[in-house]
Structure 1
């Protein structure tokens, strides 16, 4: 365990010290309605990791209370993910459906106590009666039913006498509660659906808030760890257990920030949409953020667990850069996998003065990797090199083969270009070269100085393979829908060539294809007759922000033309919209995309301008309104929003004066959207005020640097991408509260000393 324990482990240790529990029992309780993704990996690591660290155990429980979305294949995918990550659950897999009879008994008990009733309001009226943040709700007239009538109706609901939606069972708590989750929450709803385990026995199924806490109690769970969106549900969790008077020890719920990664969606609904619309090749498509997808792409369990450890366990939601995940797999594979030569875009080279053939000795690993292993590489008169390793008119700084510049063939000889052959269209088809017999690698006496070595394969013995080059599935940093998909996320090369030992000797399943990146033998499609390799990740970060800007901008063409591409159709702007757009771009300095989004939507533009009257920060407000507020308005009317323009203005003020960061502002907004609470109160209650004091930040940076001397050495040796690693570690130790710009500047200064 780390010397600096996260807040969850601090809670566990406090409970153990106080004698609250004899043994620590956690659980991983996914709903089997989709394949688990990288966010689930974080939850798996936390729940199983805490149980392991304190000599307890962790249960794997399927929260199977919605028969309309669940499937046994999802159950198997969840079991497979936990096992592959290296964890073992206690006993058999558990299911909430195992406890349906017991849960129903608890429901009857609540009804008999007068703490639950059958409500027959329709859904719209029920929503209306719920009230708002500023207005108390109104209890249903059906809450006055007698215990006998409620018991009779509940039994008939269970037996399937009523249609879906005709009745629900609700807890009787407080329709004026500040926490709107406590306004007589639903406990059971009618679902006439076949359950994959329980069959057709039940026509009613428990809601999450009822089934979850009681399942935890039945299993003897001590620490019910869940993500932050369930924070307000904790009151219901406690109410159910306390009202039923269940004997201790009982479980308590604790929340941590869910994992968010840029260029990625982790909504099961959106992932299922990708699968159903065949935008990807199933749940295990290597571009998907699912554990099955990452596994098929070639990620290792160690790299994913290391990523989860690096990002830490925080109390505030934030977004992690996907490059940190990519760094973890590079870092893991760097010391593990053999290096081999491949040619993805072959250009034939005939060595005119070479006759016969030979085998060259070559190590699989560079000198700085303490691993043994080598192979024989066939060499003969005809070879293939990468097409871009030759240039007739090279730019300045080009060190590979040219008509005037010799180059070394890695592990082999130096060659010199003598002739360039072309087809009728002027395309280069072949290079005629000569080799220097006394320039053999390890025995070079030629005295010829070359500036680089290039990879190659022998024409006669090379193996043809299919290579799948994967890039990020989304081109936008904050993807919202299908329009944000990256059209270049997959490129398939059918005729790539690779040195024969990779296929014939199979020294590993993962390789570094030199200069191209790390690759994995596809676990499903690979055969000896047709080898298939997936690109796991490049050798270094190569994804520029330009990619996302250009892709996102394709949704909205030039606004100067007064026409915009939306969903493939060109729509003209009205005079009012054009006037607003001109004002937003010329007076407020918004970029064309933001200006267009606001100008075209009357509700958004109205909200935006009202907020501007309260605080003059046009760009920051525009970003929040066009993204966060717009997302809320997709599903709600303006009158249904939990927050007001004045609260958004207050949120932006805190961003502008440095009280909170933009990342923290996003998590504050999520809370505002749910609870309607003022942003300053949220920030104060959760301790989210940004730390900019260098005297506080510097000692933390010094500690991170002292503990990561290996990475310091790599940074000083030229791996400047590690700057992000150090910044991430500092932000992790401050739970995301440190000012990122201050941290960046200080870390850079200290590493460059």
Structure 2
């Protein structure tokens, strides 16, 4: 019996072996398993679950014609699968410290966080202390009507922390002019009084050495390898279309202590009966997958060490507006 089917292509990348080899030999990517490629071993290292790939192919069906599918459609299949199958953690990519001045220096409150929307996935606790780290993008030096996160004189909620905080001041580096520290006040009301619920909640990670928080990480965010959807049409050759900003590295990222439980209980997602991603009983690092709340889905990379985790972004939480 003979079966025939058309070639499947994905926009914004190349799948031919000779072109991938040209990318490697020209040092645009490291090897065949570079997470920026769309080879199976590269997708595996990037953390894309096999079930998500199978779901994508099954959704397309079989055709005799050569087909090119938009990258967003593939990524949306990955999101749908990960949304209901992996735990959630707080991860700060570009941290700035927030010192809550009206909390004692030795204050520690354990805050309970669910691993996902599904109660069956369980909960874990993280410390809340006088100093927390937030995303640099969640703070502005001056308040505005269209910004509902932290700014001097404005309040914001910290996810699962009982009461909001209000920014009271900040410090900047005299050379770079970047904010280096934010001062804040914890808006715990007097007994019997109510507090005003904030308009926005942001994620955070506490500084708490006694609880081994935060956990340091290097995060790799992969963007489109090429500037256009079809690099093969470039008159100067497809290599001239390589996006110089196809990889962003965040060397000082911080993650909450729940990552240790996620590592211990991997693989994520849970494998179906009779199937495993592990070889020889060893759990591969890329099966340590989770959602970084408000950011993206991530997995552990094999370059991780005991003192520094290396994370790869699998896919963003939402479709990139630049791709839409």
TM-score for the superposition, normalised by structure 2: 0.84
Are 1:453 and 2:201 matched, yes or no? yes
1:52: which partner in 2?
A: none
Residue 526 of structure 1 deviates from its aligned partner by 2.2
1:224: which partner in 2?
A: 2
Could you give the per-residue CA deviations for residues 622-671 of structure 1, whole angstroms, max 9, x where no partner exists? xxxxxxxxxxxxxxxxxxxxxxxxxxxxxxxxxxxxxxxxxxxxxxxxxx
Check whether the contact 1:463–1:503 (CA below 8 A) recurs between aligned residues. no
Check whether the contact 2:225–2:246 (CA below 8 A) recurs between aligned residues. yes
Are 1:495 and 2:252 matched, yes or no? yes
Rounded to whole Å, the distance in 2 between the matches of 1:496 and 1:429 is 15
2:305: which partner in 1?
A: 527
2:219: which partner in 1?
A: 467
Rounded to whole Å, the distance in 2 between the matches of 1:381 and 1:361 is 17
User: More strand by proportion, 1 or 2?
Assistant: 2
Residue ranges of structure 2 left out of the alignment (5+ in a row): 233-237, 267-287
Could you give the per-residue CA deviations for residues 514-572 of structure 1, whole angstroms, max 9, x where no partner exists? 111000011x2123322111000001111525xxxxxxxxxxxxxxxxxxxxxxxxxxx
In structure 2, do the counterparts of structure 1 residues 445 and 375 end up closer, same or farther at CA, with 3 Å as the change threshold? Answer: farther
1:537: which partner in 2?
A: 315
Rounded to whole Å, the distance in 2 between the matches of 1:417 and 1:457 is 17
Rounded to whole Å, the distance in 1 between the matches of 2:40 and 2:154 is 47
Matched ranges for 1:178-327 at <5 A: 223-225=1-3, 255-327=4-76
Residue 263 of structure 1 deviates from its aligned partner by 0.4
Could you give the per-residue CA deviations for residues 230-270 of structure 1, whole angstroms, max 9, x where no partner exists? xxxxxxxxxxxxxxxxxxxxxxxxx2211021101111110
2:178: which partner in 1?
A: 427
What is the aligned-residue RMSD (CA, Å)? 1.9
Rounded to whole Å, the distance in 2 between the matches of 1:488 and 1:300 is 25
Are 1:516 and 2:295 matched, yes or no? yes
Matched ranges for 1:256-655 at <5 A: 256-355=5-104, 356-366=107-117, 369=118, 371-412=120-161, 413-425=163-175, 426-438=177-189, 446-460=194-208, 461-480=213-232, 481-503=238-260, 506=263, 507-508=265-266, 509-522=288-301, 524-544=302-322
In structure 2, do the counterparts of structure 1 residues 445 and 262 end up closer, same or farther at CA, with 3 Å as the change threshold? Answer: farther
Could you give the per-residue CA deviations for residues 669-690 of structure 1, whole angstroms, max 9, x where no partner exists? xxxxxxxxxxxxxxxxxxxxxx
Q: How many positions carry a matched residue from both structures?
A: 288
Residue ranges of structure 1 left out of the alignment (5+ in a row): 1-222, 226-254, 546-720, 722-753
Rounded to whole Å, the distance in 2 between the matches of 1:256 and 1:490 is 34
Residue 438 of structure 1 deviates from its aligned partner by 4.7
Query: Higher relative CO (CA 8 A, sep ≥ 6), structure 1 or 2?
Result: 2
Rounded to whole Å, the distance in 1 between the matches of 2:193 and 2:303 is 46
Check whether the contact 1:257–1:317 (CA below 8 A) recurs between aligned residues. yes
Rounded to whole Å, the distance in 1 between the matches of 2:321 and 2:37 is 17
TM-score for the superposition, normalised by structure 1: 0.37
User: More helix by proportion, 1 or 2?
Assistant: 1
Could you give the per-residue CA deviations for residues 70-95 of structure 1, whole angstroms, max 9, x where no partner exists? xxxxxxxxxxxxxxxxxxxxxxxxxx
Partner secondary structure for residue 437 of structure 1: coil
Residue 410 of structure 1 deviates from its aligned partner by 0.5
Residue 370 of structure 1 deviates from its aligned partner by 5.4
Matched ranges for 1:93-172 at <5 A: none
Rounded to whole Å, the distance in 1 between the matches of 2:115 and 2:251 is 25
Could you give the per-residue CA deviations for residues 387-424 of structure 1, whole angstroms, max 9, x where no partner exists? 11111234442111111220001111310111222232
Check whether the contact 1:343–1:385 (CA below 8 A) recurs between aligned residues. yes
Partner secondary structure for residue 169 of structure 2: strand
Matched ranges for 1:691-730 at <5 A: none
Residue 284 of structure 1 deviates from its aligned partner by 0.4
Could you give the per-residue CA deviations for residues 322-344 of structure 1, whole angstroms, max 9, x where no partner exists? 11110111000000111111111
Rounded to whole Å, the distance in 1 between the matches of 2:217 and 2:9 is 36
Rg larger in structure = 1
In structure 2, do the counterparts of structure 1 residues 306 and 381 end up closer, same or farther at CA, with 3 Å as the change threshold? Answer: same
Rounded to whole Å, the distance in 1 between the matches of 2:189 and 2:45 is 45
Could you give the per-residue CA deviations for residues 125-176 of structure 1, whole angstroms, max 9, x where no partner exists? xxxxxxxxxxxxxxxxxxxxxxxxxxxxxxxxxxxxxxxxxxxxxxxxxxxx
Could you give the per-residue CA deviations for residues 194-241 of structure 1, whole angstroms, max 9, x where no partner exists? xxxxxxxxxxxxxxxxxxxxxxxxxxxxx233xxxxxxxxxxxxxxxx
Residue 372 of structure 1 deviates from its aligned partner by 2.1
Rounded to whole Å, the distance in 1 between the matches of 2:90 and 2:154 is 22
